[in-house]
Each structure stands twice: as C-alpha cells, then as structure tokens.
Structure 1
Amino acid sequence: MGAVPPFRRDLVVVGASAGGVEALRATVSALPPDFPATVLVVVHLAADTESALARILDRAGPLPARTARHGAPIEPGTVYVAPPDRHLLTEDGTLVLTPGPTENGHRPAINATFRSAALTGGPRVIGVVLSGVLDDGAAGLRAIVDRGGLAVVQDPADALYSGMPENALAVVDTGHVVRAGELGALLDKLVRMPVEPVALRPPPGALVLEDRIARHSVRAGALPPEAQDGGPGYTCPDCQGSLSEVGPGRYRCRIGHAWSAQALLAAHDGEFRFALQKALRALDEKAGLARKLAAQIAGRRPGGLSERYAASAREAAQAAETLRRFLLDAANPAGDDEPPRPDTSGRRTEEAGSQ
C-alpha cells in the first residue's frame, strides 16, 4: 500500500462577536482572489434581525460572500455567513442550517460551527477566533485542535473586546496569534502549506453528542440518562429547566440549551440586575402613591392615617435610594466619572453596533 500524499487545509471557520465585524473586514480584504479554501463566518446575531454582514464582507474583498443556505454545496474561494437564528454546520461537502438549541444564549453559536467542522473536516480545518466577550468559540477551537486542525486567534491587545481571544488562548496553545490586519496573509499562507497525514483517534463521545444536539434541534431527552441525573443545581436562563454539567465548566439543560460557566454567570447577573430594577421601580411607585394618599386625607380623617401613609412613603423612598445607590455602584465599580461600557453579553445582537 502506497503512502498517503500530503493534503492542504481547505476549510476556515471564523467566529466573532462584539467588535468583530471590523476584524472580519480586515481579514477578508486581505484574502487574494485565488484563495483556495472555503470560509465559514459566524457572528452572534439576534433572532429577529436582518443581517447585512454578507453584503458587507462581499464589498470588503475580492472573494464572493453570501448568506449560507441549507443544503448548498461548499465551494472553495467563497465566504459563507451564518444567518440569524440558525446554527451553521457542515456535512458531506454541504452546508447545514439548523434551529438547534441556543448555546450561551446564541443561535448561531460559534462552538456549534467549530465542533461540526472538527468532526467533518478534521485536520483540514483552521479555526479563527476574533474579538468578542465571554468564551464562545473556545471549546470549539479546542475540538478543532484535538482533531488535528489549526488554531488562529486575534491578538487580544488588538481586539476591541478581548474576552473571546483570551478565553480561546486559555484552552489552546497556538503560535498563530496576530493582529486583524495580518490575519488574511497568514490564512493564505496556511491553506497553501502541504500537511502530512496523521492518524486520529475516534472523536470523543461528548463531542459527537453535542454536535448531534445542534443538528437535531430541540427534543426532550437530548442528554444521555447519566448526564440528566443530579447536577449542580443551576437553572437554564433560556427555559428555566435544571442544568447538568456535561464537561468542565459546561452545562446543558434537558432540551439541549448549552452554557459555559462564564456565559451562565453573565446571564444570571443580567437576571439579578433586572430583578433589582423591577424592585426599584416598585419602591418608587409605592413611595409616590403613599405620599399622594397622605396628602389627600391630611386633616380630614382622625387616627393618624395620613401620618402612617407619610411614614410608608418615607420608608419606601429610603429603601429606593439605597437600592439606587447599589445599582449605580455596581454599574460603575471604579467610582470614576467615565460611564460603564455597554453590556454586550447575553442574547443581544453584536453585529448591529459594529456596522
């Protein structure tokens, strides 16, 4: 039997979030017209948005860029962009769009695309993590490397939001850490380099399971029985179901919503702040109504009823002021005059602000 000839990496999967559109523009603009690989792009989008990202990238460089369509063949020298509310996966040389469970509150999710590429492309894949908050893409990039692929990460110092690049580098050791302006040239070099074949072990069962959940949408019993028993006692922010730990710092509920520990903490922090804001509104309204009642019956009814309403108003106003100071301090812990950075965590679109 003859030796297996070298091959070239022909699938580039790119994940970006807040601040990532400019990095994508810079990358795509530097790719040459004869770029021999396919590029799949995932940016966090809200489900109800109409994305203009494919048009933006189509104008940015010589390669055609289009919104991915389910069942379309994967063509080299083309940039495919995940549409809102669908995971972008690959199978048998075609694109697969699915309404699978959200991951870290997102659909499309970067991890879902990276996992799929790792399973279907193995060592032919290059995973790229760009600017963004939290850690979507880190676990998927780890899967790509474990399956023989390459990892490329935007230099955190160059990223508008360094969270995603930093979290990717925390789990993947790679020498390919570059500024956005250097990514296009690096990718063109990497996809043209011959790669010697290596023997790979079968993929881990957990990787196959998570890919299957993303492919087959929401269905009860998505997790195996051993993963459904017990759990850390956390609640899924998407459906309020119980979460089970499916890996170190990774959780899923029974119908498949996936969360990293960082994303889960951010989501619960948002829920906590929302609850406090509702409480503040209720206290302000209580104080106002109590003052109004105290004024209406003052001098008309005996028994101190007006004073009791006035005392209730003072108590509610004091509690509201205490809660208001707490919320302001939490929003600006440094205590300086600079306003806090906008919250781009959770499920809000991160493309719109960059366009």
Structure 2
Amino acid sequence: MMSPTAIIVVGASAGGVEALRRIVSVLPGDLNSAILITLHIGAHRSDLPWLLSRAGSLPATHPLDGEKICAGHIYVAPPDHHMLVETGYIRLTKGPRENWARPAIDPLFRSAARAYGTSVVGVILTGGLNDGTAGMFEVKARGGTTVVQDPSDSVTPNMPQSVIDHVIVDYVVPVKDIGSLLTSLVADHHATLPVNVPQTGDSQEKGMTAEFTLNHPVAVTCPDCGGALRQSELGTLTQFSCHIGHVYTAEVMLAAQFLTMERALETAMRSLSERAELCRHMSSKLPDSVASAHEREQWENARTQALDLTEPLRELLAKAWIHPVPVHSGARGDN
C-alpha cells in the first residue's frame, strides 16, 4: 500500500456515528489519503470500524501501535487509547485523559498537525463540550485545512460551534457535503508524505511535560488527580493541564469540578443517613426505663441532627447551577 498525499483527521462525539457513516459512504475507493478518526467511546467496545467498512468502499480498522499509515485506509482510535500520529506511523497510548476523554480528539489533531503541517485536513463533527477545538487550533496554526460540520446540521452543535468561535475555519458545511469536499481537497494535494521509522518513547507526551513547566500555575487543582494545574492560551481558548498530563478546557473543567462536588455531596448525605440509622438502632436497643431515658434522648437528638443536616445538602444537589455558555465570536472564515 502506498503512502498518502494527505492526512485527514476527524473528531466526533454525540451523534457522530451516523455522521461518519454518511461521510465515508461517498469517499472513493482510490482516495489518496489516510483517514484517522477519534470518536468519544471511552473504554467501551466499539463496532465503528465494522460499521464504516460496510458504509463505504474504504476498509476501516482499529490500528496497532506502530502501524504504518497507508492511503485508502480508515483508522479508528481503539477503546481507552489515545491515537497519535508520528511521521508515517500511528502511536497508541493510555496516557492521561484530555477533556475527560480517552480516546480524545485533541491529541490526534495536535500530533497530526506537528507531524504533517500543511498536509493535514482537520474535521470536527457533532458533539458536546469542546474537545477538538485546541487540536483544530494547532492544525490551522501549522497551515492545515479546517473543516467543521455546520452546527445547525449537527445532532449536538457544541463541538463544531466551539471551533467556529475560537479558530478561523476554512469550510463550514452540512455533513452531506463533507465527503465530496474531502475528496476534492485530497485531489488538489499532490505532495507525497514522508515515512519515518517509529521512534521509541512518546515524544508527544514529553512535549506536553515541557509545556507544563513553562506555563503559569493557577489556584485550581486537577479534578482527576488533585495535582496542581497550569494555564495556557491557544488564541482565545484557555486550557489547564497538570504535571501528569490531564488536560481540560475551561468549559470541561467546570463540568468536571461540578461532578467532583456532586459526588462529595452525595458521600456526605450517605454518611449522615448512615449516622441517623445507627442512632435509631442504638436508641431502639435501650430498655424502656427511667435510668436509660437520658441516653435514649441523646441518641434521638443525634439522629435528628443528622437528618436535619441532610436537607441543605439535598438542596445543593437539586439547585439549578449556572453553567456559562460561550458567546459566539463569529470567528468563521469567509470560505
């Protein structure tokens, strides 16, 4: 199999399976490009390669670590692994989650942009929150082409809209037109991409550690590991990363903090309920006598106190919390 003349990287989340099937259904079998896809599937088993192979004329697989990148093939990030691009090869890693996800979109886009620069076409499809925005920023900054599914055509518009808000996008099109657009972009790109021997170690993760030491620390800890965070800016996008390598945008960080707080409140409520039950049990065991009346009263008072304190926690859990929504900046390109 020959080397591709272009690298297409695609990121999708909620609603992405059907969007991907529609795109690959119109791609020609002789497409002189490799397509690398990250869909937010977590650690769950994925049938996406099988679905995409049946949908179109290009074969799709979960790649192996160190597998050569070949034209006319679709590579799908396997469950619970980030898929990275080295020059000519694919790297798989169980590195730290980014934006609460593994596999995540940003590592794929970022590594492809650094390896192939102007030969990369980045595509962001339907999905929630904003994984993929930072990666698309890297694609654009290194001269690649940026394509976004029209938010009005998306099942969940947050991911494509975030890219439009923070990156100058080359093409914003409905999913029915993305396949033909990619075919045209690849046909216009004629340079053959280089192929190198895979290197030992993970240069992408080493670069991440170096960037962490240069950025400013903030008084916020990582929701995943509790480690110190440092803040970095990619254009108008703010990111936070810890020394282990967990990476969050501000919006995903807010969601992760909320989940951590919610779990803490639920733990406190459970502990108070268990305390109340223990007090009830101990009170019921005391004999019905004057001598034990004072002790029974103490157990009942402790039970009442525990039950009373669960109410403010219940109110906090039920509260309608404010989740800031980014103001659309209109950073869309003219194309």
The TM-score normalised by the length of structure 2 is: 0.82
Structure 2 CA distance for partners of 1:281 and 1:265, relative to 1, 3 Å: same
Alignment of 1:240-279 (within 5 A): 240-247=226-233, 249-279=238-268
CA distance in 2, matches of 1:264, 1:258: 9
Letter in 2 for 1:281: R
- 1:308 aligned residue: 298
- 1:118 aligned residue: 113
Residues paired across the two proteins, number: 308
- 1:45 aligned residue: 41
The superposition leaves residues 41-78 of structure 1 with CA deviations (integer Å, 9 ceiling, x where unpaired) of 0112324x332221121112111111112222212121
CA distance in 1, matches of 2:212, 2:322: 44
Structure 2 CA distance for partners of 1:292 and 1:18, relative to 1, 3 Å: same
Cα deviation, residue 279, structure 1: 1.0
CA distance in 1, matches of 2:204, 2:144: 27
Structure 2 CA distance for partners of 1:217 and 1:303, relative to 1, 3 Å: farther
Cα deviation, residue 239, structure 1: 2.3
Given that residues 284 and 316 in structure 1 are in contact (C-alpha distance below 8 angstroms), is that contact kept between their aligned partners in structure 2?
A: yes
Cα deviation, residue 272, structure 1: 0.4
Once the two structures are overlaid, the 10-residue window that deviates more, 307-316 or 128-137, is 307-316
Cα deviation, residue 303, structure 1: 4.5
Answering whether residue 212 of structure 2 is matched by residue 222 of structure 1, we say no
Letter in 1 for 2:209: A
Once the two structures are overlaid, the 10-residue window that deviates more, 124-133 or 242-251, is 242-251
SS for the counterpart of 1:264 is helix
Structure 2 CA distance for partners of 1:165 and 1:46, relative to 1, 3 Å: same
Runs of 4+ with >6 A deviation? 217-221
CA distance in 2, matches of 1:217, 1:93: 15
The TM-score normalised by the length of structure 1 is: 0.78
CA distance in 2, matches of 1:106, 1:150: 24
- 2:91 aligned residue: 96
Alignment of 1:97-176 (within 5 A): 97-176=92-171
Of 24, 28, 38, the residue aligned with 1:28 is 24
CA distance in 2, matches of 1:18, 1:46: 12
The superposition leaves residues 153-207 of structure 1 with CA deviations (integer Å, 9 ceiling, x where unpaired) of 11222222222112111111225222223221222222223589xxxxxxxxxxx
Given that residues 222 and 254 in structure 1 are in contact (C-alpha distance below 8 angstroms), is that contact kept between their aligned partners in structure 2?
A: yes
SS for the counterpart of 1:222 is helix
Given that residues 98 and 216 in structure 1 are in contact (C-alpha distance below 8 angstroms), is that contact kept between their aligned partners in structure 2?
A: no
Given that residues 83 and 108 in structure 1 are in contact (C-alpha distance below 8 angstroms), is that contact kept between their aligned partners in structure 2?
A: yes
Given that residues 5 and 32 in structure 2 are in contact (C-alpha distance below 8 angstroms), is that contact kept between their aligned partners in structure 1?
A: no
Cα deviation, residue 266, structure 1: 1.4
Structure 2 CA distance for partners of 1:21 and 1:288, relative to 1, 3 Å: same
SS for the counterpart of 1:283 is helix
Cα deviation, residue 259, structure 1: 2.0
CA distance in 2, matches of 1:262, 1:250: 9
CA distance in 2, matches of 1:237, 1:220: 22
CA distance in 1, matches of 2:84, 2:132: 14
The superposition leaves residues 219-239 of structure 1 with CA deviations (integer Å, 9 ceiling, x where unpaired) of 7992368527x6102212232
Which is richer in strand? 2
- 2:317 aligned residue: 327
Given that residues 87 and 100 in structure 1 are in contact (C-alpha distance below 8 angstroms), is that contact kept between their aligned partners in structure 2?
A: yes
Task: Considering Cα pairs closer than 8 Å and 6+ residues apart, tell me whether 1 or 2 has the greater RCO.
Answer: 1
Given that residues 241 and 247 in structure 2 are in contact (C-alpha distance below 8 angstroms), is that contact kept between their aligned partners in structure 1?
A: yes
Letter in 2 for 1:77: G
Of 254, 270, 280, the residue aligned with 1:281 is 270
Answering whether residue 53 of structure 2 is matched by residue 58 of structure 1, we say yes
Structure 2 CA distance for partners of 1:113 and 1:62, relative to 1, 3 Å: same
CA distance in 2, matches of 1:289, 1:267: 33
SS for the counterpart of 2:123 is strand
CA distance in 1, matches of 2:155, 2:113: 27
- 2:329 aligned residue: none
- 1:5 aligned residue: none
Letter in 2 for 1:169: I
Letter in 2 for 1:328: A
